[in-house]
Amino acid sequence: MAAPSEDIPVTTAEAGPGTPRLAVENLRIVMAATRRRPEADVVDQVSFTVQPGHVLGLVGESGSGKTTVALALLGLVKRGLAVGGGRVLIDGRDILALSEHELQKLRGKTVAYVPQDPGSALNPVLKVGTQLREVFSIHGGNPEGLTQVMAEAGLEDQKGSGPILASYPHQLSGGQQQRVALAMAFACRPRLIVLDEPTTGLDVTTQRRVLDTVRGLCRTYQVAAVYISHDLAVVAEIADHVAVMYSGRLIEIGAAGEAFASPAHPYTRGLMRAIPSMESSHELHGMAGSPPRPGNRPAGCSFRPRCEFAVAECELREPAPVVVSGTGHAARCVRAAEVTALSGTALLARERAAPPAGQPVLTISDVSVSYTNKPVLRDVSLDVGARQSVAIVGTSGSGKTTLARCVVGLHKDWTGTITFDGKQLPPGVRGRTQDQLRKIQFVAQNPYGSLNPRQTIGQIIGEPLAHFTKLPAREHDKQVGDALTSVALRESFATRYPDELSGGERQRVALARALVVGPELLVCDEITSALDVSVQAAIVELLLRLQAERGLSLLFITHNLPLVRSIADDVTVISAGQICEHGPVTQVLTAPKQAYTRQLIADVPGFG
């Protein structure tokens, strides 16, 4: 039997003797007390180390405290928070004890940061070369090393005057912007680099390049890295060790391969169950409930209200860490040994049954699009049957979103024909009938930008209902409430505003707004790309249930190939604006015929 220890082991790497590059000791971040509430910790009892050249993956749902810990590694806290205790040691030096002036000198040179969205982190009015040279100027690096830094980041620039350095950020792709951010972070050879969701929203091929760049630079220059992500497969691909956070605390830590193959905490196990697989079209299951808010942890184990393994002891006290292997793999769970002994059994649910194919609801024939004489789509043709889900996949810039915008009428400059319910659709929304507009609904990738922040949730959902129908006020409100219920939200959400909701809740609201008018075709553009795996699983469950109940057809655009196995019946692969492969999901993803498709599949991160 594994024995309990007094604290989560802080050593997470076996890289040999000497001081670890990073050591976090009992870190605590708090919200200040107010008249209405006492002081509450947002992060508590967080301890881990990272050796030179190693990568620690920090995972958990939104609100678990990952980014709060990441900022503390740079000596930063969000507004309204303060360091309540603990130490952050970089090469033995406690950065939390430094003055703000000392921290400013340290950031960028000793510890660097790569944000989730490089587009917002790069200065839009300065060329890339100017911004990179500025890094050397401020931190005293060698500007002669610019060409080497660019090459290391995989950017096509040989003499320091090529197209990348002469470009503005908006002229680069998302992958190029992210590699510029990496080049800036590694330019002065920092001791520690913190990466906060750096591949979210990237296609699998671009993601693979970014991961290879990070891993190679860390090992070459013996940089310690903390890699924050909600994508467990990405973490398994890049990290040597993984730390799982829940409700502001580390609940499991260990070697990445061991922790993912044999999770010791029910929460980690729940995350693994929510991950789609390239090997099977199994049903996804999100975890019930949501993490407690800071200051509202339940007594005993904070995960107890959501845990299928909970026993009476879990309510009495916070569980002590239990070491479950000789490598230091440990979890805060009284049943850690039992959970580990399951060794991944029953993590995957039963295979999803594909619905019978129906007559085509949507037919796209020879659709072509050009921007300023540059072809974006060329002779694209496909069908979406009744109750069928068709996925469209491909790298960024392949034309996926342009095709979706053509279908819903947001892009009108195209040639070819699009037929819906047997009738040809005019190119733009202004030429379409009210019935056509109602029956084809669009759900955008970013729920933060697609919901009006000045309207309540009830007003947002009720707006299309008021546009397409003339219902009495009572019936209008009832349908808004029914729409919220259909996406697993309480009717009381109608009085809230978007900024009061989590990302997963906002995406459900966006779905409710699309569903409230009873569409026949739902066009979904990367709607799960920024969601936690547990929320993603819940959204997919919801879509498949609504598809079965309402007879919906889905056109599902994504770069997440494993997710395609769990939600789609057919898949269309687009490369450079052309369809290069199409067919049943199992056939295309199991035995691809085209080299492009094979490369996409090879680039998918996995747990192997």
Buried b (16+ CB within 10 A) or exposed e, 228-255: bbbbbbbbbbbbbbbbbbbbbbbbbbbb
Tens digits of residue pLDDT in 451-506: 999 999 999 999 999 999 989 999 999 999 988 988 878 888 999 999 888 777 88
Q: Are 400 and 367 in contact (CB under 8 A)?
A: no
Which of the residue ranges 44-48, 197-201, 268-272, 557-561 would you say has the lowest mean pLDDT?
Answer: 197-201
Position 46 scores a pLDDT of: 95
Task: Classify domain 378-602 at the CATH superfamily level.
Answer: P-loop containing nucleotide triphosphate hydrolases (3.40.50.300)
Q: What is the DSSP letter of 289?
A: S
Higher pLDDT, 237 or 16: 237
Residue 55 reports pLDDT greater than 90: yes
Position 417 scores a pLDDT of: 96
* Owner of token pair 């070697």: 255
Give whole-number Cα distances, 528 to 61, 67, 535, in Å.
14, 20, 8
Question: What confidence category does residue 2 fall into, taking pLDDT thresholds of 50, 70 and 90?
Answer: very low
Question: What confidence category does residue 210 fall into, taking pLDDT thresholds of 50, 70 and 90?
Answer: confident
156: Cβ–Cβ under 8 A, 6 or more apart, which residues?
162, 163, 164
Higher pLDDT, 147 or 89: 89
Burial class (CB in 10 A: 0-12, 13-18, 19+), 7: middle
Number of CB atoms found within 10 A of residue 343's CB = 10
Answer yes or no: pTM beyond 0.75: yes
Tens digits of residue pLDDT in 392-424: 999 887 889 899 999 999 999 999 999 999 999
Question: What confidence category does residue 447 fall into, taking pLDDT thresholds of 50, 70 and 90?
Answer: confident
Mean pLDDT computed over 4-30: 67
Which of the residue ranges 162-166, 181-185, 264-268, 556-560 would you say has the lowest mean pLDDT?
Answer: 162-166
Q: Residues for the chain: how many in total?
A: 608
Position 121 scores a pLDDT of: 79
d(CA 389, CA 569): 5
d(CA 322, CA 70): 25
Which of the residue ranges 22-36, 177-191, 349-363 would you say has the lowest mean pLDDT?
Answer: 349-363
Mean pLDDT computed over 96-108: 92
Domains of the chain, residue spans: 122-185, 378-602
Higher pLDDT, 438 or 9: 438
Which of the residue ranges 38-42, 359-363, 480-484 would you say has the lowest mean pLDDT?
Answer: 38-42
Residue 3 reports pLDDT greater than 50: no
Phi-psi label, residue 23: left if phi above 0, alpha if psi -120 to 50, beta otherwise: beta
Tens digits of residue pLDDT in 142-168: 667 788 888 877 776 544 445 888 889
Position 10 scores a pLDDT of: 44
Position 160 scores a pLDDT of: 43
How much is the mean pLDDT over the chain? 86
Percent of the chain at pLDDT exceeding 90? 50
Residue 523 reports pLDDT greater than 50: yes
Cα dihedral 108, 111, 117, 118 in deg (nearest 10) = 30
Position 438 scores a pLDDT of: 95
Buried b (16+ CB within 10 A) or exposed e, 182-206: bbbbbbbbbbbbbbbbbbbbbbbbb
Q: What is the DSSP letter of 265?
A: S
Q: Are 525 and 445 in contact (CB under 8 A)?
A: yes
Higher pLDDT, 366 or 401: 366
Position 380 scores a pLDDT of: 95
Position 246 scores a pLDDT of: 94
Position 277 scores a pLDDT of: 81
Mean pLDDT computed over 541-555: 87
Position 357 scores a pLDDT of: 60
Position 7 scores a pLDDT of: 53
H-helix or E-strand spanning residue 250: strand 249-255
Which long-range contacts link 115-120 to residues 24+ away (Cβ below 8 Å)? 115/181, 115/196, 115/198, 116/196, 116/197, 116/198, 116/200, 118/169, 118/174, 118/177, 118/178, 118/180, 118/181, 118/198, 119/169, 119/170, 119/174, 119/177
d(CA 320, CA 432): 63
d(CA 574, CA 582): 9
Which of the residue ranges 345-359, 373-387, 443-457 would you say has the lowest mean pLDDT?
Answer: 345-359
Question: What confidence category does residue 344 fall into, taking pLDDT thresholds of 50, 70 and 90?
Answer: low
Least Cα distance to 48 among 255, 261, 297, 317 occurs for: 255
